[in-house]
Amino acid sequence: MAKKGIKYIFVVGGVMSGVGKGIASASIGKILQSRGVEVTALKIDPYVNVDAGTMNPTEHGEVFVLDDGTECDQDMGNYERFLDRDLTRTNYMTTGSVYLSVIQKERNLEYGGKQVEVVPRIPLEIIERINKAAEKAGAKVAITEVGGTVGEYENILFLEAIRMLKIKNPHDVVLVLVSHVPALGAGGNELKTKPTQHAVRSLNSVGLNPDIILARAHMPLDEKRKEKIEFMCSLEKGDVISAPNVGNIYEVPVNFENGGMGDRILKKLKMKPKQKDMKEWRDMVTHMNSATKPVRIGIVGKYFGTGEFVLEDSYISVIESIRHAGGKVGCKPEIVWLNSEQFEKGKESLKELNDFDGIIVPGGFGSRGIEGKISVIEYCRENKIPYFGLCYGMQLAVIEFARHMAGMKDANTTEINPKTSHPVVDIMPEQKKNLKDKNFGATMRLGAYVANLKKGTVAFGAYGVPEISERHRHRYEVNPEYIEKITEAGLVFSGVSPDGRLMEIAELPKEKHPFFLGTQFHPELKSRPLNPHPLFVAFMKACFARRK
Ligand code: GLN
């Protein structure tokens, strides 16, 4: 069951969701990495969807995309950002995907005619996948985050997998419970441990006890509270680690290390601790936190202001990319959410944009608020406000340019107007058939694709290399039939697919605009705090320069 040479860390959540299991898992990984241990991180989502591709961002937050085209949970983005590693399909599983492969194996007679019982087959499949992910990544430790909260029906088979592994290999498995410790009392300073005790009882009922409890609270846990949890939950002294709220998520690994997390985990896994080396990470955090000069970035979207969900969750990678680049450039980004529909009320409404140092139109689907976004882009172009378009934001910049600079008044994307006389953004012929067949999954361009950059362009200046690879998630492309006309009018396609058919980056030359650039791909999926994305850095520089 356990693979020789691999150690397992599981992270589960107690009391309620949203306590930061993803950041906790990523931070544990970072700590181990800083001790010279190669790690990989997996996410388990307990829902039946096979992947996150079919989910609305208002339901689930951002859909993160890996190099291999896997559409997954935003926590995978946290792992990649903290660990600075590219993950693959094997690092992500859902209840649906686990059942799907067990059923496929059963259909292929891979169980030798035996009755296929939910237990142990499903837990064994889960363990096999973790082993595969560790093997593929060359990792000594696999950190697996189980979505949901203990006590729910949904994740019970995943907990059973942990139990099975742990009972056979007690020294190779560490279970971390990330629990919420609420505060009551008039001053909000009375920390309550009872919910955590209940969460542990819940774990006990499925045959598990945590090895470490991360106590999430708005303030640090005092010794008395720690001792209480340790005693009531049968933990060794020192195994309750305080995890107070932080202003900057990248401080979390540093805080965990200060609380002794690295030593405790390595001791439990019987691994020889190497010397800590978190210098580069600590320096990055200090640099980020010490930047004081504000830069005001407006993000224009359609979902904002509905109050239905946490907005930040839908654009988490964009936000993080801005922060990474801000740290590098030495400024403090202030992000303001702008509802695109507010810009559909005529010229007057656009004046507000003058208060911004830069504008981003991120990825999106559908027609709501589109004309507002196009007006914003036009205003940025004409008034030399730095503009960065991500996927849809690039397509709309091309449409705006075609309408106002290349004389194609009703230029549009066929996503919005299939009858437009100038479909400057359209479905490529090879994808049309899938769309007709309602095979929607197969109509997206997903994952990493290579592009060649034109020398002397803004994009080339930012990347400094002639060939790049970036991640995609979209259905439509700039229509090759219009390239000549749009280029003649002055827009430069500075990044193009190797076969020359797909336009990956559109920009205005430096002499014409301080920064006006859009990417068909999603650069935000590849920005890391230790390695900020070059285009975000170039954009933030332009924004900072406008401020000065
Ligand atoms: N709706 C556009 C397309 O499908 C853009 C998608 C996106 O921004 N991710 O091509």
Q: Whose CA is nearest to atom 1 of ligand 1?
A: 365
Q: How far is the CA of 528 from the centre of ligand 1 (A)?
A: 23
Q: 7-283 and 291-547 share one CATH topology?
A: yes
- Using one digit for the tens of pLDDT, what is the confidence trace for 25-60? 999 999 999 999 999 999 999 988 888 877 776 667
* pLDDT at position 259: 86
Catalytic residue among 72, 331, 380, 391: 391
Q: How far is the CA of 415 from the centre of ligand 1 (A)?
A: 9
Q: How many degrees, rounded to 5, is the angle at CA 486 between CA 480 and CA 490?
A: 140
* pLDDT at position 548: 75
DSSP assignments along 372-403, one per residue: HHHHHHHHHHHTT--EEEETHHHHHHHHHHHH
Q: Where exactly are the structural domains of the chain?
A: 7-283, 291-547
504-510's contacts with Cβ under 8 Å and 24+ in sequence apart are 504/449, 504/451, 504/470, 505/394, 505/451, 505/453, 505/457, 505/459, 506/389, 506/394, 506/397, 506/398, 506/401, 506/478, 507/457, 507/458, 507/459, 508/381, 509/457, 509/458, 510/458, 510/461
Among 267-276, 313-322, 458-467, the range of highest mean pLDDT: 458-467
Answer whether 57 contacts ligand 1 (Cβ < 6 A). no
What is the rounded average pLDDT of the residues 514-525?
A: 98
- Using one digit for the tens of pLDDT, what is the confidence trace for 198-233? 999 999 999 999 999 999 998 899 999 999 999 999
- Residue 142 phi/psi, 5° resolution? -105, 120
- Residue 320 phi/psi, 5° resolution? -65, -40
* pLDDT at position 309: 47
Atom of ligand 1 nearest to the CA of 444: 4
Are 497 and 440 spatial neighbours (Cβ–Cβ below 8 Å)?
no
Answer whether 471 contacts ligand 1 (Cβ < 6 A). no
- The yes-or-no answer on residue 524 being catalytic is yes
Estimate to the nearest angstrom the gap between the alpha carbon of 539 and the chain centroid. 20
Q: Please say whether the dihedral angle defined by the alpha carbons of residues 73, 75, 81 and 85, taken in this order, is positive or negative.
A: negative
Helices of type H across 65-117: 74-83, 95-107
Residue 25 CA to residue 177 CA, distance in Å, equals 11
What is the rounded average pLDDT of the residues 129-148?
A: 96
Catalytic residue among 400, 470, 507, 524: 524
Atom of ligand 1 nearest to the CA of 393: 8
What is the largest distance, in Å, between two alpha-carbon atoms of the chain?
75
* pLDDT at position 428: 82
Higher pLDDT, 437 or 235: 235
Higher pLDDT, 56 or 407: 407
State the DSSP H helix or E strand holding residue 7, giving kind and residue range, or none if neither. strand 7-14
The arrangement of strands across the sheet holding 423-426 comes to 412-413, 423-426, 477-478
* pLDDT at position 347: 85
- Comparing 222-236, 424-438, 511-525, the range with the smallest average pLDDT is 424-438
Q: Which of 55, 299, 360, 365 to mutate to test the pocket of ligand 1 (most atoms within 8 A of CB)?
A: 365
- Using one digit for the tens of pLDDT, what is the confidence trace for 108-120? 999 988 999 999 9
Answer whether 8 contacts ligand 1 (Cβ < 6 A). no
291-547 has which fold?
Rossmann fold (3.40.50)
Answer whether 392 contacts ligand 1 (Cβ < 6 A). yes
7-283 has which fold?
Rossmann fold (3.40.50)
Residues ≥6 apart with Cβ < 8 Å to 271: 7, 37, 140
* pLDDT at position 438: 64
- Using one digit for the tens of pLDDT, what is the confidence trace for 79-105? 999 999 999 999 999 999 999 999 999
Answer whether 373 contacts ligand 1 (Cβ < 6 A). no
* pLDDT at position 53: 78
Structure confidence at residue 304 as a pLDDT band (50, 70, 90): low
Answer whether 365 contacts ligand 1 (Cβ < 6 A). yes
* pLDDT at position 308: 45
* pLDDT at position 169: 93
For tokens 């496929």, the residue is 104
Structure confidence at residue 441 as a pLDDT band (50, 70, 90): low
Beta bridge partners of residue 146, listed in sequence order: 44
Residue 56 CA to residue 547 CA, distance in Å, equals 36
- The yes-or-no answer on residue 522 being catalytic is yes
Catalytic residue among 60, 180, 472, 522: 522
* pLDDT at position 348: 87
Q: Whose CA is nearest to atom 8 of ligand 1?
A: 363
3-state class of 495 per DSSP? strand
* pLDDT at position 358: 98
Atom of ligand 1 nearest to the CA of 390: 8
Q: How far is the CA of 545 from the centre of ligand 1 (A)?
A: 30
Q: How far is the CA of 394 from the centre of ligand 1 (A)?
A: 9
Average pLDDT, the chain: 92
* pLDDT at position 173: 97
* pLDDT at position 203: 96
What is the rounded average pLDDT of the residues 304-331?
A: 81
